[in-house]
């Protein structure tokens, strides 16, 4: 059942060097017809597409700016905590 099935070997003789083969002309190129439907943009749909693209750019920009702002605020908070801890440890060492 799972053994491979090989096709029967070709029984035609290979052409000899003395025999002349007729020269075949290559077929003329044929323009291929696409089966895909074409997309036709009307002025209204082009305007809607441009507005949608602009909205996507604005939303992505707002998200990136808010992420950058969150990183900046977190960095400032860590810096303030580091200064406060340094001050507390310095005072702790003085009073010992």
Q: What is the pLDDT of residues 48-70, one digit of tens each?
A: 999 999 999 999 999 999 999 99
Pick from 3-7, 55-59, 85-89 the range whose average pLDDT is largest.
55-59
Residue 15 and residue 21 in contact, taking contact as beta carbons nearer than 8 Å: yes
pLDDT tops 60 at residue 1:
yes
- For 32-54, what is the mean pLDDT? 86
Looking at 6-10, 19-23, 47-51, 69-73, which range is the least confident one?
A: 19-23
Task: Give domain status of residue 28, yes or no.
Answer: no
What domain range includes position 91?
55-96
Task: Give domain status of residue 84, yes or no.
Answer: yes
Task: Give domain status of residue 21, yes or no.
Answer: no
Task: Give domain status of residue 63, yes or no.
Answer: yes
Residue 44 and residue 50 in contact, taking contact as beta carbons nearer than 8 Å: no
Domains identified in the chain, total number = 1
Q: Rounded to whole angstroms, how far apart are CA atoms 89 and 96?
A: 11
pLDDT of residue 33: 73
Task: Give domain status of residue 15, yes or no.
Answer: no
Please name the residues in contact with 49: beta carbons below 8 A apart, sequence gap of 6 or more: 41
Backbone angles phi, psi at 19, to 5 degrees: -80, 135
Task: Give domain status of residue 33, yes or no.
Answer: no
């Amino acid at each position: 059942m799972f053994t491979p099935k090989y096709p029967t070997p070709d029984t035609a003789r290979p052409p000899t060097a003395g025999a002349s083969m007729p020269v075949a002309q290559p077929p003329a190129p044929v323009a291929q017809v696409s089966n895909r439907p074409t997309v036709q943009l009307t002025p209204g749909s082009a305007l809607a597409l441009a507005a949608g693209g602009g909205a996507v750019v604005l939303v992505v920009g707002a998200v990136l700016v808010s992420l950058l702002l969150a990183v900046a605020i977190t960095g400032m908070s860590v810096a303030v905590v580091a200064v406060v801890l340094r001050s507390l440890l310095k005072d702790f060492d003085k009073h010992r």
